[in-house]
Chains A and B, each alone.
Chain A
């Protein structure tokens, strides 16, 4: 599926869960960055992006995710991803993203930890 879609599926306390579907390029990345900024500005501190329906993130999309990461770290929040395809997991590993962001196998595992931490 290449049509990009971002859906805020849950927001409880300081944790928001967003489902991302489709190709994350410059346009998709900007939508993500905009929504993340809005959530962080409204007091949300944990952002979980469920990438189950995302097959490919290009390098421009990556750079926009880094903007989200930078902003999340500035507010002492946590940026997390779950349900990565093997190729996206490898992309994140090449970048060294796990040093700064949390990566979980699935949404329940992520929420267990993110909601327990706050």
Chain B
């Protein structure tokens, strides 16, 4: 039985750092023949989780990508960790387009995209440590 393909990254503080993780995800997913369109959704979720981590923490942002290709149904696991101030995930309201259209601040879509693009999302957060754990299976929505 083949071992999962795993990659650990520490994101540099450079422009488009989130794409480094996204592109790595793309590469890993292709290695297990993850469906291209599903993989594009996973890539966006990775980019969003990294963007949040980079924006809200000053320290190290670590990303662990794992492609499980040996199961009957291949799946992908992503863990993004930062050491920022933390937040209460249950306190983040879901964005509503109509309200955003008339609001001065139109941001706030990242977490919603992550939750809707991935099958399972678990966020644990306290001051100094936030972890976003995400799973996507091939047969997901």
Q: Which residues of A contact B (CB under 8 A)?
A: 2, 23, 25, 55-56, 58-60, 62-64, 66-67, 69-70, 73, 85-87, 90-91, 94-97, 99-100
Given that A58-B44, A59-B110, A91-B44 are known contacts, is A86 also in contact with B101, CB under 8 Å in the complex?
no
Whether B101 and A62, one on each chain, are in contact in the complex, defined by CB atoms closer than 8 angstroms, is: no
Cross-chain contact B40 with A85 (CB below 8 angstroms): yes
- Judge whether B51 and A56 touch: CB under 8 Å: no
Across-interface contacts of B95 in A (CB, < 8 A)? 95
Interface of B toward A, CB cutoff 8 Å: 16, 18-19, 22, 37, 40-41, 43-44, 47-48, 51, 95, 97-98, 100-102, 105-110, 112-113, 116-117
Interchain CB contact (< 8 A) of B97 among A55, A59, A97: A97
Chain A residues whose CB sits within 8 angstroms of the CB of B110 once the complex forms: 58-59
Quick one: which of A58, A85, A87 contacts B51, CB cutoff 8 A?
A58
| Complex-state Cα separation, A23 to B22, whole angstroms | 12
| Closest-CB distance, B47 to chain A (whole angstroms) | 6
Q: How far is the CA of A58 from the CA of B21 in the complex (A)?
A: 13
Residues of A within 8 A of B108 (CB): 59, 63
**Contact yes or no, A56 B101, CB < 8 A:** no
Residue in contact with A59 in the complex, picked from B22, B41, B98, B109, CB distance below 8 Å: B109
Chain B residue with the shortest CB-CB distance to A2: B19
Cβ of B101 and Cβ of A63 under 8 Å apart?
no
B102: nearest chain-A partner, CB-CB = A70
| Given known A-B contacts A23-B19, A94-B116, A59 and B40 have beta carbons under 8 A apart | no
C-alpha spacing A117/B122, complex, angstroms: 47
Residues of chain A within 8 A (CB-CB) of B105 are 63
CA–CA, A58 to B15, complex, Å?
Answer: 14
In angstroms, Cα B107 to Cα A63, docked, is: 5
Expressed in whole angstroms, the Cα–Cα distance for A90 and B109 within the complex equals 13
Q: Known interface pairs A58-B18, A58-B51, A63-B106. Does A90 touch B117 (Cβ–Cβ under 8 Å)?
A: yes
Please name all residues of chain B whose beta carbon is closer than 8 Å to the beta carbon of A90 when the two chains form the complex: 41, 117
B43 to chain A, nearest CB (A): 7
Residues of A within 8 A of B48 (CB): 58-59
Looking at the complex, which one of B101, B107, B109 makes contact with A69 (CB distance below 8 Å)?
A: B101
B106 and A56 contacting across the interface, CB-CB below 8 Å: no
- A86 lies within 8 A of B51 (CB): no
Q: Please give the distance in Å from A66's CB to the nearest CB on chain B.
A: 4
| Given A23-B16, A55-B40, A56-B40, A96 contacting B97 (CB threshold 8 A) | yes
